[in-house]
A and B are shown apart, each in its own frame.
Chain A
Amino acid sequence: MSDASAVRARTTQQKVAATLRRRYRAERRFRALGVAAVAVGILFVVFLFWTIIARGYTAFAQTYIQLDVSYSAEELDPSGNRAREDLEGANYQALIKAALREEFPEVTERAELRKLYALASSAAELTLRERVLSDPQRIGQHERIWLLAKDQVDMLVKGQVDRSLPEAQRNIDDQTIGWIDRLIAAHQVEKRFNARFFTAGDSREPEQAGVGGAIAGSFLTLVITLLLSFPIGVAAAIYLEEFAPQNRLTDLIEVNINNLAAVPSIVFGLLGLAMFIQFFGLPRSAPLVGGLVLTLMTLPTIIITSRAALKAVPPSIREAALGMGASAVQTVMHHVLPMAIPGMLTGAIIGMARALGESAPLLMIGMVAFIVDIPKGFTSAATVLPVQVYLWASSPERAFVERTSAAIMVLLAFLLIMNAAAVLLRSRFERRW
């Protein structure tokens, strides 16, 4: 008997010993798979950000060329009376053309001249116009002035054009490159901080396009979203958490909220199109409609986080207030809500961050239009940052690639700020009971 058990014990031990190495190998393999998965995840993050930053950082500088412009009186003001209307309507392009001809006197042929004129952006005319209008004394004088260069020049200066390619495969020919090199050698080309990128609206010309209009549009849209979704979401959360009786209606509301949280955002776009635009006749492309759609989309998030914030307030607070004779509404409004507000704000910020990054539903309601002007109000046509990214990403010009990446960087910066604010708020006001 004892012999038999000893044999069995030995065999069990032997069995274990025999398989142990295999089992440990399996253990290491499994563990390595886990490490690999985490590494892959982190690698994706790094790769994603690296490609965006590597592509986009150059857009924060823009190429300018220095030209000797003469504000010729016969071109700008042939009548000589310095009337403002005349100066506003004058042909400033001619000044730039003249300056370029002066810079490169050997170019005389028409086709070549056209290429030469393409060195300067059409925004350069506006610069000259502004200078003349602000000080009409300049007429008849000379000035060395830095003017915005065309996007092809910009690309070349930033080294994004492969000079070793055959001429036919580049969108900039050898002659133009020669001119630019001559300007560079004469220190007449300079890269400057691209302030225009943050203030200008959209443009067909890459060198003039900026995210200013999109930022304004995003801001207006988010104002509507916040003003509607925060109060409504908090009210709904208070009702469900503090007042709702256990009945069919309450169940129905809860089921609806949970399902809406997972409905694809594009369906909200369909709702916005059919309901707000088609049925109620609200204007297309307007931040008002965009805000309404995003409100419906973010409401579930805000309700859910607000409920969590209310749940975190201990029942003893309520009991104490009720015991002192406060009514149910007074208890909630005077005691529970103030304690839950930081948590609710955190949820609202996260909801707003989601709304800021959302673009699919906004495509449906026409916020994809090409809009040059910076939106002035809630009903004027506008676009938002992520949609601007989408629009630029589908533009064929090479120069829009870096602008798209730069716009993404701006968008991510805003998201980072919002999320950091949420984290800060949470750590600052979080209370453990």
Chain B
Amino acid sequence: MQTSTIVIAILVLGTIAYRLGRRRSLAVVGGPRGISQLHSLPGYYGLLTAVWCALPALGVLGAWHLLDQRVIVEAVLAHMPGGVQALPADQQGLLLNDIKNVVQGNVAAGDVAPAVVAAAREWQRLDTLSRIAAAVLAICVGLFGGTLVWRRITPQLRARNKVEWIVELNLLLCSMIAILTTIGIVVSVLYEALQFFRMVPVTEFLFGTKWSPQMAIRADQVGSSGAFGAVPLFTGTLLISLIAMVIAVPVGLFSAIYLAEYAHRRVRTVAKPLIEVLAGVPTVVYGFFAALTIGPMLRALGQSLGLTVASESALAAGLVMGIMIIPFVSSLADDMITAVPQSLRDGAYALGATRSETIRQVVLPAALPGIAGGVLLAVSRAIGETMIVVMAAGLSANLTANPLQAVTTVTVQVVTLLVGDQEFNSPKTLAAFALGLVLFVATLLLNIVALQIVRRYREQYE
């Protein structure tokens, strides 16, 4: 039985409960004429019944499906011939994968060991059983809840208040999801990162200068000791972000100044959205642009000047990232500049200042805190940007400040470590979470500081 069918069944049940509840509320006061004796409108009695019928049922169904796969796995493993339970976790995982493949029909049953086929049968049996049990349980709970409320319907029942209480509770729960997400991020990233730090000391990770996360498969392999010093990644990230800011801040700031202070309104209505188009372009497009257009272009340019430019140079990635961030800087700076009260400008003009003098000596100093906050937000954007650097920056962890060489960044390493097969017990996979933790903390701090600055500034002129 499909889960969607059960959900639809529960919703149908809820609709029926609504009608029954409504009808009963009218019945207890002797038909539509007695409606004034009811505390709430009849619809609210219906809603209360429906909510008590459908919500618990859906809750039970959801909880069941969150947990049933793990129980099934345990049961299937327990059923398999002896020795399986004693296998190490990764081999058990492989075996489970085989079984899953048979269950999903990706592999013909004839190609695998009979024990696996038997386990797959067992899995299917348990899965069907679990679905039926979930359906029966959910519908029973729904019927029980619905009946409970239905029987309690009296003219005195404050149905509207109860329904509204439930509505408000649900609204609160929905807004709590933001907190849950943060907790989820912190817990999941921190948990794996702590496991990583159990294998690699924090100091080595934060201050080591050698990064080569490939672990040796054989003991005698060359250069595969697995070094996890993340300093080259941090410097690479900062280098690319710096290049990006060098592009984005002047261009963004000056275009904001021009559009806010000088441009004719008609120019502004055309040029501003046109620049903001850059903000709507997916980052993967920038990555493609950097890797296939800007990268080779810089390389050819470097060759004609006698410079050796790496084909995946930091400059190409930084340049394109700068282009991406221009609209971000310009629209924030625009907001800040237009928020400066006109009276300040008028004062400066009255003293005989030219427009540019007014802007440089009055408007910009007044808007500076806000712009600084905006630039900090842009930096956190640049640090966390992934696709451009994955496609255009290299994988080699060079500790260099030369923008013509290839560097790698935190996000690139997170992606390379996690794309493909992961083993959650090897430092290689866990290192990605440690990097993710650093990224999360760094951007969080930047954002908090930036938002504080921006907010304080906005209040100043409001």
Contact = CB atoms under 8 A, between A and B. Distances in A.
A292 B367 CA distance: 39
Contacts of B447: 258-259, 262-263
A18 interface: no
A271 B184 contact: yes
B262 interface: yes
A69 B251 CA distance: 61
Interface stretch (B11-19, B51-59, B203-211, B376-384): B376-384
Interface stretch (A39-47, A76-84, A127-135, A200-208): A39-47
Given A48-B289, A329-B164, A412-B281, A266 B411 contact: yes
B184 A415 contact: no
A314 interface: no
Interface in A324-357: 327-329, 333, 353, 356-357
Contacts of B257: 34, 37
B349 interface: no
Nearest to A405: B288
A320 interface: no
A254 to B, nearest CB: 9
Nearest to B2: A377
In the complex, which of the residues B258, B284, B381, B432 has the most CB atoms of chain A within 10 Å of its own CB atom? Answer: B284
Nearest to A297: B181
Interface residues of A, number: 89
Given A239-B171, A264-B380, A271-B181, 17 more contacts: A26-B354, A26-B356, A27-B355, A27-B357, A37-B253, A48-B323, A256-B181, A256-B182, A260-B182, A275-B188, A280-B66, A357-B285, A359-B282, A364-B419, A390-B287, A393-B391, A419-B280
Interface in A233-247: 233, 235-240, 243-244
B292 A263 contact: no
A297 to B, nearest CB: 9
Given A236-B175, A256-B178, A259-B182, A41 B330 contact: yes
A52 B287 CA distance: 12
B254 A34 contact: yes
B167 interface: yes
A75 B447 CA distance: 70
A73 interface: no
Interface stretch (B75-83, B130-138, B438-446): B438-446
B427 interface: no
A408 B330 contact: no
Interface residues of B, number: 94
11 contacts: A29-B356, A48-B289, A48-B323, A52-B288, A231-B174, A265-B384, A267-B436, A271-B188, A281-B70, A281-B73, A394-B391
A260 B184 CA distance: 12
B348 interface: no
Given A271-B189, A275-B188, A419-B280, A16 B352 contact: yes
A300 interface: yes
Contact of A239 (B175, B280, B291, B380): B175
A426 B16 CA distance: 38
Contact of A360 (B292, B415, B432): B415
Interface string B269-302: 0010011011011111111110111000000000
A243 B174 CA distance: 13
Contacts of B360: 30
B45 interface: no
Contacts of B451: 258-259
Interface in B414-462: 414-415, 418-419, 422, 424, 432-433, 436, 439-440, 443-444, 447-448, 451
A363 B419 contact: yes
B179 interface: yes
In the complex, which of the residues B175, B192, B422 has the most CB atoms of chain A within 10 Å of its own CB atom? Answer: B175
B359 interface: yes
Interface in B230-257: 250-255, 257
In the complex, which of the residues A42, A260, A264 has the most CB atoms of chain B within 10 Å of its own CB atom? Answer: A264
A358 interface: yes
B191 to A, nearest CB: 7
A40 B281 CA distance: 17
Nearest to A387: B284
B419 A236 contact: no
A17 interface: no
Contacts of B160: 327
A266 B386 contact: yes
A263 B164 contact: no
B172 interface: yes
A404 interface: yes
List 8 tightest A-B contacts by C-beta distance, closest first.
Answer: A264-B384, A34-B258, A357-B282, A37-B254, A274-B188, A236-B175, A235-B174, A30-B356
B122 interface: no
Nearest to B181: A296
Contact of B178 (A37, A38, A260): A260
Interface string B260-272: 0111000000010
Given A48-B289, A260-B181, A267-B189, A415 B280 contact: yes
Nearest to B273: A423
Contacts of B291: 393
B225 interface: no
A299 B275 contact: no
A273 B424 CA distance: 11
B414 A270 contact: yes
A36 interface: yes
A368 interface: yes
A411 interface: yes
A138 B255 CA distance: 67
A31 interface: yes
B128 interface: no
B170 interface: yes
Nearest to B279: A354
Contacts of B357: 23, 26-27
A384 to B, nearest CB: 10
A270 B432 contact: yes
Contact of A36 (B254, B292, B419): B254
A45 B284 contact: no
A108 to B, nearest CB: 41
A180 interface: no
A253 interface: yes
In the complex, which of the residues A237, A275, A329, A353 has the most CB atoms of chain B within 10 Å of its own CB atom? Answer: A329
Given A238-B171, A328-B164, A38 B385 contact: no
A359 B164 contact: no
B326 interface: yes
Contacts of B338: none
B288 A360 contact: no
B175 A52 contact: no
B174 to A, nearest CB: 4
A45 B277 contact: yes
A51 B293 contact: yes
Interface string B394-430: 0000000000000000010011001100101000000
B303 interface: no
A24 interface: yes
Contacts of A281: 69-70, 73
A405 B284 CA distance: 11
A262 B178 contact: no
B176 A253 contact: yes
A315 B1 CA distance: 49
A240 to B, nearest CB: 6
B250 A270 contact: no
A156 to B, nearest CB: 21
Contact of A265 (B167, B192, B386): B386
A172 interface: no
